[in-house]
Amino acid sequence: MDQILNQLGDLVLGSVPTMILFILLVIAYGLLVRRPLDKVLAERRARTSGAIEQAKGAISAAEAETKVYEDKLRAARSEIFSAREAKLKQWNAERDAALEEARTATQQRVAAARAEIERTAATARQQIEALSEALSEQVMRAVLPAGISTEATQ
């Protein structure tokens, strides 16, 4: 058993430099590789998170701008529609006024034409009456002998 303990002591004593080198290697790894790597990864994570937050902020700002633009567009469309409706009403009123004016002018022309026709008809009646008297006298002279026709007319 002493021999086993001696062998174990020799093994432990032989492994001490390996353990010290291993511990130094772990410490060197921690100082030279792990800490800078953790810093770079933390910085990368911060940049990524910051970029994501910045992108979210830009997206929400763009959405707000889009909403403002849509509101302005909606207001402009409403204004254009109102202006169009007003213009249509104005055009309809102008058309109605022109139609009424044309209707009035036409009625005046019809009335003037009727009056002219009535004047012409009255003149024609007078002429016909005057001609009918003269014609009746001629017929009477032609049909009746000369002495009777003068007595009948008086």
Q: What is the pLDDT of residues 76-118, one digit of tens each?
A: 999 999 999 999 999 999 999 999 999 999 999 999 999 999 9
Q: Is the pLDDT of residue 134 over 90?
A: no
| Pairwise CA distance, residues 97 & 104, whole Å | 10
∠ CA 32-34-35, nearest 5°, is: 80
| Pairwise CA distance, residues 138 & 41, whole Å | 139
**Residue 141 neighbours by CB under 8 Å, 6+ apart:** 149
Over residues 116-127, mean pLDDT: 93
Contact 153, 140 (CB under 8 A): yes
Cα distances (angstroms) measured from residue 72 to each of 79, 101, 115: 10, 43, 63
Q: Is the pLDDT of residue 15 over 90?
A: no
Mean pLDDT is lowest, of 30-39, 109-118, 140-149, for 140-149
Over residues 44-59, mean pLDDT: 88
In this prediction, residue 154 carries a pLDDT of 54
Cα distances (angstroms) measured from residue 105 to each of 16, 54, 100: 128, 75, 8
Determine if the pTM surpasses 0.85: no
| Pairwise CA distance, residues 80 & 56, whole Å | 35
| Confidence band of 151 (pLDDT split at 50, 70, 90) | low
